[in-house]
């Protein structure tokens, strides 16, 4: 879609370039920005020209630049000790998008848009990813992605803040994982996504996204029994209704998917 209110474009090269004037918006992949009119937006500041490496090893973990594309993450070569590596491609396939969108849409953009069905939100919350946020005063702050996303389409980002990267810790990358997704149509938007994880120390994590308005993360000292997990999933807040699924359906199928992920991890 043409943004007929935009009259200026800047390519960001440094942090100083990310100081926005009135009417300016950050441009990443632009897949949402160009999908509908942006009334009040008069200028775009391109984040992709910052030159950040898409993927970096940081300690024993992984740093994903906010400008890393879905395709770059999905096609990352496997690391021998990262048993969670298949989740990169699995989560990407939960994104309702063509290969052309994969090559433009950014991981950071998907997280910052914060739609309940955001595939990169599912991935990051399941793997305990931490958001590195640049603040307009030249500083930075860190917070879990599960806390960055506050609702369906809302985040805790403040005016002038920019997501720099998403850091996934090594212990989550080395964990065993199981992934399940369901949608009303074969190629439809996710109605529920459940990801289970068992760390090397035996602790278990289950994330529920798409079915609830903001990410839900359940943590256990060990893999829970089926009855407890089912009860915990059913009792989550935030199940909602929209054209892609009713709240009661989302609650039910989330329980079914959680049971399947648990069974896979227990086998």
Per residue in 181-205, pLDDT (tens digit) is 999 988 788 999 999 999 999 999 9
Residues 61 and 115 in one domain: yes
Asked if 143 contacts 133 with a C-beta cutoff of 8 angstroms, the reply is yes
Last residue of a domain, one of 107, 142, 171: 171
Q: How many helices (H) does the chain have, and how many strands (E)?
A: 9, 14
DSSP 197: E
Any idea what the Cα angle at residue 77 is, between residues 73 and 82, rounded to 5°? 90
Higher pLDDT, 193 or 101: 193
Do 236 and 213 share a structural domain? yes
CATH number at residue 219: 3.30.390.50
**Distance in angstroms (rounded) separating the CA atoms of residues 180 and 115:** 18
Give Cβ neighbours of residue 98 (< 8 Å, ≥ 6 apart). none
Determine, yes or no, domain membership for 1.
no
* Distance in angstroms (rounded) separating the CA atoms of residues 55 and 64: 5
Residue where a domain stops, chosen among 171, 198, 218: 171
**Number of alpha carbons in the 13 Å side-chain half-sphere of residue 119:** 28
Whether the pLDDT of residue 96 is over 70: the answer is no
Decide if 116 contacts 190 (C-beta within 8 A): no
How does DSSP classify residue 121? H
- Tell me the whole-structure pTM to 2 decimals: 0.95
Query: Within this chain, do residues 99 and 207 fall inside the same structural domain, yes or no?
Result: no
Distance from the Cα of residue 130 to its chain's centroid: 11
pLDDT band at 39 (very low <50, low <70, confident <90, very high): confident
Q: Write out the residue range of the structural domain in which residue 139 sits.
A: 53-171
In contact, 199 and 205? CB cutoff 8 Å:
yes
Q: pLDDT digits over 205-214, tens only?
A: 999 999 999 9
Q: How far apart are CA 89 and CA 31, in angstroms?
A: 19
Residue 3, in any domain of the structure: no
Are 44 and 62 in a shared domain? no
- Domain presence at residue 226: yes
112: phi > 0 → left, psi -120 to 50 → alpha, else beta; which? alpha
Number of separate domains in the chain: 3
């Amino acid at each position: 879609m043409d943004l007929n209110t935009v009259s200026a474009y800047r390519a960001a090269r440094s942090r100083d370039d990310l100081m926005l004037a009135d009417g300016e918006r950050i441009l990443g992949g632009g897949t949402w920005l160009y999908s509908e009119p942006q009334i009040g937006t008069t200028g775009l500041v391109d984040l992709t020209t910052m030159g950040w490496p898409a993927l970096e090893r940081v300690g024993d973990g992984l740093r994903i630049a906010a400008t890393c594309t879905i395709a770059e993450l999905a096609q990352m070569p496997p690391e021998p000790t990262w048993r969670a590596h298949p989740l990169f491609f699995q989560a990407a396939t939960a994104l309702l998008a063509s290969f052309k969108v994969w090559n433009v849409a950014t991981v950071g953009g998907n997280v910052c848009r914060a739609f309940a069905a955001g595939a990169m939100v599912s991935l990051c919350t399941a793997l305990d990813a931490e958001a590195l946020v640049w603040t307009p005063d030249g500083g930075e702050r860190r917070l879990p992605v599960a806390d960055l996303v506050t609702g369906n389409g809302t985040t805790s980002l403040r005016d002038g803040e920019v997501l720099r990267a998403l850091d996934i810790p090594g212990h989550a990358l080395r964990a065993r994982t199981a992934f399940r997704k369901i949608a009303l149509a074969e190629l439809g938007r996710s109605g529920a996504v459940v990801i289970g994880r068992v760390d090397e120390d035996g602790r278990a994590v289950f994330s529920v996204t798409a079915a609830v308005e903001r990410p839900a993360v359940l943590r256990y000292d060990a893999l829970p029994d089926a009855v407890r997990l089912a009860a915990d999933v059913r009792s989550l807040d935030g199940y909602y209704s929209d054209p892609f699924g009713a709240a009661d359906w989302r609650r039910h199928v989330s329980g079914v998917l959680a049971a399947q992920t648990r069974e896979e991890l227990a086998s």
